[in-house]
Structure 1
Amino acid sequence: MIPRLTARGKLLLGTALMFLIVGALHGAPPLVSLAGAILTVLLALYLAFYPTAILLRRKKIELSWWVPPGDQPGGALAADRPFLLHLAFRNHGSRKLRILSTNILAASTLSIEERPSATVKRGQQVEVVTTIKPLAAGHQVLHGAALRFGDALGLFDIEAFFPNPIAVKVFPRTIALRGAAVRKAAGAVHEQVGLHHVRRRGLSGELRELREHSHGDPFKFIAWKATAKRGQLMVRDLENEIVTSHVVLLDVGGGMRSGLLGRAPIDWACDSTAALAKSAIGNGDRIGLVAYDTRPFLELKGDSGHHHYLQVIDRLLDTRSIVDEDLTDVTAGELVALVARYLAHQEAIDVRIKLAPPLDDPRWSAIQAGPDGQLYDVAATGRMCRRLIEIMLGRDDKKGSKKAPQRVNVVESDPQLAPLRQFCRLRGIELPYRTTWEHGRRSNGLAMAIERAVAAGRPDVVVIVSDLAGIVEDEARATKALARLRRSAGTVVALVPSPVAFLAAAATPHGKRVRDLMVRDQRTNITPGRKLLIRHGISVVEAAPGDSLDRLIGGARGPIRSVAI
């Protein structure tokens, strides 16, 4: 950390050098003297500012920060709802420090426009507050802050990075939903007594009404006393209180992630699923979740209660931080290089190999080359990641803690790279999601997700949230799975993100033509899957962020339609 000239300092230095050159060429001693005086003053100011670099090296400056409870119920943080970040600067040195700006390094979905500044006198602490706006739900991490210190005249500055990772949980956006969007079909098998009054044919239940006999009413439902009084056939309508079982099949593939940051179909899908879960649990119903792409990514069995709602939210947030080998588009070399750079900046740990071993050296089995040809020690990187994971999860051997850590399960064929992916998951290191897949894998993923959804019982309502891309590549497998779903589930609704609603608006005629081509291409990908679902009697509805879930799902039991955008 060495002080450097600011723009003002460079201008002053350039002026002094210009005076010196002009004075020397034209033999003007006053200009040469003026240049010498400016350079002398500049050097003196540099020497006066240099102790700040010494204080930084001796770690006399501390940075701490915390996030107070949000404005949502229970103090939760929600997408598109700005929250406050409190920063505290402590000066343990012997001189006053001027913090010109604070550049907070955080996840890409956290929008930070402010760069707080402060003046901290020796032996004191100063607190400042800044605002952060989360653009999307998920497990977000604030990695640290780069502080820029300057002198009183603004001629010199020095930058220092303070690693201080802090994780925040951002809940999905709140979408209004009046009640249960889809009710249980009459006559369906129920598991337990609940809050919904549903008309059922049977001999048990409370009397709902007496009405005139119509064609198809069973003989045993005839109310003979009422028939004798009215002189015409009257039948009894009974009702029971039952629980509706919902299952959401959430597509987390690459097509669902394309779009503006925080406004992609996956963001709308997570918001809608959270709203459905809140509505179902608020009505005493049960709801389960299966997220899938080319395979089921996660599964949550159907249950009810507020604790289960929080579990649904946690699973939805997990879909935004996927690090599995088969679902991310990153090579082994890129992964190792990414984690190595993070360790170097965040933990001051260098795992680079300065001198390559001989070609026949067995150490090559634990060495990985990065994209730029730099060699990294994979074994050392894995050990450091495991150690940091244990510390993050509360099992620090030096402190003697006996708390059992909750491991993050990742899919990785190479045991040496598994700790690196776990570390990326816990520290919020973002890995690019895979946008292509092998032929037929998407059909297989949907089929496996359906098998898990109907394995534990017969769900009353199944909501599929997907862009339907690639599900007809293995049509035989998809047809068999959808047929089983229709046999097992009472009502099946497919919500498809509208291509028109999730693409950015065009500002120029050429941009409009490109946008029209993209919409046409996406509709071409949707059409085969839509036709396949319609053939199996599944309602397919195109949805946009501004559409009402009550109207989308509740109206889907009628004719198959598309929402006008």
Structure 2
Amino acid sequence: MQLYPTRPAAHLAIAAVAVTAVGVLASSPAIVGWGGAVIVAVAIARAVTLVSVARIRAAGFEMLWSQSRRVVRTLRGGEIEIEAEVRNRDTLAARYVKLRALSSPNLRVTLEPAAGEVDAGGRLRVKVRVGTPRVGQHGVYGLALEVRGAPGMFEVPLTFANPYGIEVAPRPLSAYLHAGRGGPSLLMAPSGRAGRLRGDGTSLREIREHQPGDPFRRIAWRATARRGKLLVREFEREERDVVWVVLDVSVELWAGPVGRAPLDFLIDEAAAIVARHLGRGDRVGLAVYANTVRLTIQPDSGLAQGQKVLHALLTAAATLDESRSDLDELDVAVRVIEHLRPLDDRGLADVRRGDLDKLAQRADAMRHRAPFRVKAPEGRTERDATLRRYLACFGIDSPPKSTSDKAATGEALLSILSAIAKVKPRPSLVHVLGGAPDGPVTEKLGHVIGRLRRAGSIVSWALPYYEPALTPPWTSRDGADDEDDVRPPDVVALDAGAPRVADAVRFRAVVAQRKAEATLSKLGVRVGHVRPGKRSLGEEVEAAPAAPPPEHAAAPEQA
């Protein structure tokens, strides 16, 4: 059974050890006795907690979700409410002084009631309110219950037998959150602008004289009989825009508070562009890159394409891959053990410490109980990938790594744009959302963008928006939580200097943005910024004058 000391308990134990050490150095039996008494009191409190929790577990104290479904889908920036049942099968009432959700740090979870009592043989309904500030697949996978046997000293995590998954989608793609039934959606009916081209269509363009190579099936026999010469029917077809959305999901773009990081707004902007063009009947493709090309979805239209793009935006920015995660294999194994032990029938008692191969096998066998089905993330070894996949399936997040891969990011972007420039049909619009590259790759990028512009494509670039990430508050704290009020002096001092640090970072960001704008403008790119609540860059591009014809297009300048 795992017991974790609360912060006051840890501080009390440290103080007792320090007092005892001082007493030994000062050769003072009174001080040593006082410190030893406090240590004994903490040990007794731990023993009381063990007995209390052992009785609760033996009696069948459990927590279950009220709903049968395992995954709920919602939109970013919203709040949902789900219910859990706390059941007590003991003959005595069970009291708890605090109930805390164990969930993804990308969710904001509150419980009501946070403290209470479950009658003997009774049930207590707990309302779980979940705020959804970040796009992705996240999990609510347990509760931490603090029993009254040792008030405020120890807490015992009890994990739900049926973990709950929450898929958070970008708000602009709400129409694609649930699959349509009963026929094609009116939302996806073709509309908007379309260019008319000769080809195999259904609309008659003209009747003209037969030319060598015209198919036999196009001969207009009645018109031929009237005119006395061979005539053919010429049809026309509609060709709508082919739009590419190229999204940068580099780990450094996750810097900032949850829901206000630059990548949060870039994903919203990408979703808005995709939703608008799919709603018009255009063909939309998506390419996602970071230190490598993470995925590519070829241009298509319709509801199925919207759902493909939605799933890609839910998963492509995750940081569980070994090259994007701040966790090594041992760190991942620790998280797997903490989550898997309460779910395993034997509590992992037969898995020896350090036996990661057996742990990976046990974790892989437990994936059928997970709310999500995902492919294995990138790992250093197959075992590492298996452990990371377990975390992904249960919606357990990994912090992004702190080092930047900007050089590799530029090469990945160059690879994507080069492929787009070669593919047919040619793109009408190319929207790039991400940071501007620098270094030697800029010159190569200029040649590729020039090739796109000469082919008649409009290239736009939305730079990240850093201001919300540099605006206080940088952390969300609940003042009702006693533990959060106990803060070390170095953290308090850091908070006092945080505004100055934010101002310095903001100044550097502004300088870097202006430099990026100048570089991209020289390449013939229409530059904009992602700003929440403003008109998206895609709408600005459509409202702007059309690009010059290919023969008059300016050659890209080298940066």
Partner of residue 258, structure 1: 255
Which stretch shifts more, 514-523 or 309-318? 514-523
- Cα drift, residue 318 of structure 1: 0.5
What's the offset of the Cα at 1:263? Answer: 0.9
Query: What are the superposed Cα offsets for residues 491-522 of structure 1, whole Å, 9 maximum, x if unpaired?
Result: 21111123445421599996555334312322
Alignment of 1:425-440 (within 5 A): 425-437=392-404, 440=407
| Cross-structure match for 1:463 | 431
Equivalent in the alignment of 1:149: 147
Q: Which residue of 1 aligns with 2:465?
A: 498
**Structure 2 unaligned residues grouped into runs of 5+:** 8-45, 176-188, 206-235, 475-494, 548-559
Query: 1:449 maps to what in 2?
Result: 416
Aligned twin of 2:125: 127
Q: 1:351 to 1:435 in 2, by over 3 A?
A: farther
Tell me if 1:62 matches 2:62.
yes
Contact 2:418 2:448 in 1 (8 A): yes
Shift of 1:119: 3.1
SS of residue in 1 equivalent to 2:276: helix
- Distance in 1, Cα, partners of 2:387 & 2:65: 27
SS of the aligned residue for 2:171 comes to coil
The answer to whether the 8 A contact 1:534-1:540 is kept is yes
Change (3 A) 1:464 1:496: same
Deviation at 1:480, TM superposition (A): 3.8
Alpha-carbon distance change, 337 to 278 in structure 1, aligned in 2, over 3 angstroms: same
> Identity across aligned pairs (percent)?
20
Q: CA deviation at 1:391?
A: 5.0
Find the counterpart in structure 2 of residue 97 from structure 1: 94
State the Cα distance separating 1:287 from its structure 2 match. 1.4
SS for the counterpart of 2:366 is: helix
Distance 2:349 2:456 in 1: 55
AA aligned opposite 1:171: A
Give deviations 1:105-136, integer Å, cap 9, x for gaps.
10112112345244332333232323221121
Give the structure 2 partner of residue 537 of structure 1: 524
Mapped to 2, the partners of 1:305 and 1:66 lie a distance apart of 36
Matched, 1:408 2:375: yes
Distance 2:94 2:104 in 1: 28
Residue 412 of structure 1: how far off its partner (Å): 2.4
Task: Call closer, same or farther: CA 1:51–1:443 in 2, change over 3 Å.
Answer: closer
Is the aligned partner of 1:329 residue 2:329? no
Q: Distance in 2 between matches of 1:498 and 1:6?
A: 38
Q: Distance in 2 between matches of 1:141 and 1:75?
A: 10
Per-residue deviation at 1:85?
1.9
Letter aligned with residue 461 of structure 2: A
Please report the TM-score for the alignment, with normalisation by the length of structure 2.
0.67
Going from structure 1 to structure 2, the CA distance change for 1:254 and 1:284 (only over 3 Å counts) comes to: same
**Residue pairs, 1:171-186, within 5 angstroms:** 171-174=169-172
| Distance (whole Å) between structure 2 residues aligned to residue 159 and residue 273 of structure 1 | 43
Determine if contact 1:106/1:141 at 8 Å carries over to the other structure.
yes
Distance 1:103 1:516, change over 3 A: closer
Quote the Cα distance in structure 2 between the aligned partners of 1:499 and 1:288: 26
Distance 1:64 1:506 in 2: 35
What residue is the counterpart of 1:349 in the other structure? 348
Residue-pair matches, total:
442
Q: Which residue of 2 aligns with 1:522?
A: 509
Residues of 2 paired with 1:160 and 1:315: CA distance? 37
Q: Give the secondary structure class of the aligned counterpart of 1:108.
A: coil
Would you say the 8 A contact 1:194–1:243 is kept in 2? Answer: no
- 1:351-370 matches, within 5 Å, as none
Deviations 1:312-351 (A, max 9, x none): 1111110342322222233334333443444446643268
Deviations 1:20-55 (A, max 9, x none): xxxxxxxxxxxxxxxxxxxxxxxxxx9999975343
What does 1:235-250 align with in structure 2 at a 5 Å threshold? 241-250=238-247
Trace 1:206-245 onto structure 2 (pairs within 5 A): 241-245=238-242
> Quick check: which has more Rg, 1 or 2?
1
Match of 1:554 among 538, 542, 548: 542
- The one-letter code of the counterpart of 1:514 is V
Q: Find the partner of 1:161 among 146, 157, 164.
A: 157
| TM-score of the aligned structures, taking structure 1 as reference length | 0.67
| CA spacing shift, 1:141–1:463, aligned 2, 3 Å | same
**Partner SS for 1:327:** coil
- Change in 2 beyond 3 A, CA 1:413/1:114: closer
- C-alpha separation in 2, matches of 1:335 and 1:264: 24
Give CA-to-partner distance per residue, 1:8-28, whole Å, 9 cap, x none. xxxxxxxxxxxxxxxxxxxxx
| Match among 356, 359, 366 for residue 381 of structure 1 | 359
SS of corresponding position for 2:410: helix
**Cα gap change, 1:99 to 1:511, in 2 (>3 Å):** closer
2:268 to 264, 268, 271: 271
**Residues 82 and 131 in structure 1, CA contact (< 8 A), matched pair in contact too:** yes
User: How far apart in 2 are the matches of 1:393 and 1:509?
Assistant: 42
